[in-house]
Amino acid sequence: MSQLSSVFLFLIRQFPKGHLLATLCLAGVVGFALIAPGAGNSVTSKTTLDLSLPSPSEKAPIIEIPARPWLEATVRSGDTLGKLLGDRGVSATAIHELMSSSKEIKQLANIKPGDIIRLEKNHIGQLIAVQYQPTRIKTITADRIDGNWVLTETQRNYEHQIKYANAVIDDSLFLAGQQAGMSDNMIMKLANIFGWDIDFVMDIRRGDHFRLLYEELFLDGEKVGDGNIVMAEFWNQGRQVNAFRYESPEGGIDYLDLKGDSLRKEFIRTPVSFTRISSRFSTGRYHPVLHRVRAHKGIDYAAPRGTPVKAAGDGKVSFAGNKGGYGRVIIIQHGQSYSTLYAHLNSYANGVRSGKRVKQGQVIGYVGSSGLATGPHLHYEFQLNGVHRNPLTVPLPKARGIPDKERKEFLIYANKLRNQLALYAETSVLAQNESN
Ligand SMILES: [Zn+2]
């Protein structure tokens, strides 16, 4: 699951806190499980979603662990696996043999109080198996086979259930999402997907609305977490933006629009979070330290000292060091045409130095006031073909979308999802009318 949770690393704009207390969202907001476990309503049969994606990620069926004569032991404070086994009559030699059998066996020793360890002994009391479940879905079993310990790891899969939610924004995306029954985490995911196109603080207008299909994760009929947003539609000031989750055959995950182009851009607009702009791009301004009029070829973001500064895009550090008025500065070259510059840093992030490759959103340094600066801020410059451009307004190139050979299949898939979403939306209206 780790690859799924680290899809996007880009900057997320903060939600206005005051909005949490502000007026409630007016319009009808629905977020109900249409395929809830055991919810035998008429809706279920009509809208079972066929998510047969053009994707290689089909999960293996759940592995049933056959019932074995396990002896269960609860880990207490201060227990090690050795102590726990010793307390249950396993000889020191047998414990040593188990623990020194392989490097991977260490996983078994990583126990904490409250965990359950299962043991199996043969008819003469020798330890022949140990089993441990470090998480709800992962089980590690060591079996003694022909005098050797063999380790196997099994992973259960979550049951994915599709939920539909829609909301009209009266105040903030956050509030509307909550009204629609979405978790904070899911609202953040939605904001992340559309954050490249929509500034959720500045651009949102009353009446903007969205609808989406997303996954919830279940184990044994119990909800244990959120999955992914499968698709979403957002109407912002009358403009509609669509997003479809797509997993490439290589396992890369991206959100694509109706044409199969990525919603991401090659650059994040603002390389530092939680800031205000303290000085804009201009061709002439009075410099507070130099006391003369000078062009300001970048944007200043006032931020507390130590605030992380992120690489605006993938690239290679071409300079990291001291440079006159810039103080501690990092310059990143992005391909042939683009470069970005981050000045007045307090310090550099570990391992960031000239010649190193960096990823978009990676922390490269920390806000400071080195060089000619009146207070802690990030001075950020954006160059295209050697010419300074205003980072706030320069058109940013889109990240590469789907490869042409996969596009046709994607379009079919996207269309199918749109139809499913429409069906959910229709059903949701019907269900609402019925309950009124
Ligand atoms: Zn500046």
The predicted-structure confidence for 158-199, as pLDDT tens digits, reads as follows 899 999 999 999 988 899 999 999 999 999 999 989 988 787
In a 3-state reduction of DSSP, which class is residue 30?
Answer: strand
Alpha-carbon distance of 374 to 380, in angstroms, equals 16
Q: Give distance in angstroms: CA of 385 to centre of ligand 1.
A: 20
Residue range 275-322, pLDDT digits in tens: 677 888 886 666 666 666 678 899 999 999 999 999 999 999 999 999
CA of 293 to the centre of ligand 1 (A): 13
**In contact, 155 and 30? CB cutoff 8 Å:** no
d(CA 318, CA 242): 37
Q: How far is the CA of 310 from the centre of ligand 1 (A)?
A: 17
Cα–Cα distance for residue pair 308/299, rounded to 1 Å? 16
Q: How far is the CA of 291 from the centre of ligand 1 (A)?
A: 14
- Whole-structure pTM value: 0.63
Ligand 1 center from residue 288 Cα (angstroms): 11
Q: Which helix (H) or strand (E) holds 423?
A: helix 404-435
In the reported structure, the alpha carbon of residue 13 is separated from the centroid of ligand 1 by a whole-number distance in angstroms of: 21
C-alpha of residue 361 to centroid of ligand 1, in Å? 21
More confident residue, 16 or 253: 253
Note the pLDDT of residue 290: 65
Which pLDDT value is given to residue 286?
65
- 337: CA distance to ligand 1 center in Å? 22
State the average pLDDT over residues 309-338.
96
| pLDDT at position 353 over 90 | yes
How far, in Å, from the CA of 193 to the mean position of ligand 1? 30
> Which residues have C-beta within 8 Å of that of residue 13, sequence separation ≥ 6?
191, 195, 199, 200, 201, 270, 273
Q: Classify each residue of 92-128 as buried b or exposed e, where b means 16 or more C-beta atoms within 10 Å of its C-beta.
A: eebbeebbebeeebebbeebeeebebbbbeeeeeebb
Query: Per-residue pLDDT averaged across 65-69, rounded?
Result: 69
C-alpha–C-alpha distance, residues 19 and 38, integer Å: 37
Q: What's the whole-number mean pLDDT along residues 99-112?
A: 86
Strand stretches in 291-337, DSSP E: 292-296, 299-302, 308-310, 315-322, 328-334
At 401 the pLDDT is 85
Task: Give dist(CA 119, CA 104) in Å, integer.
Answer: 18
User: Given CA atoms 382, 385, 389, 395 in this order, what sign does their dihedral have?
Assistant: negative
Per-residue DSSP letter, 425: H
Distance 297 CA to ligand 1 centre (A): 7
CA 300-301-304 angle, to 5 degrees, is 135
pLDDT of residue 175: 92
Q: What are phi and psi of 45, to 5 degrees?
A: -65, -30
CA distance 321 to 331: 9
Contact call for residues 391 and 281 (beta carbons, < 8 A): yes
Domains present along the chain, CATH in parentheses? 2-52+158-256 (3.10.450.350), 71-155 (3.10.450.350), 276-389 (2.70.70.10)
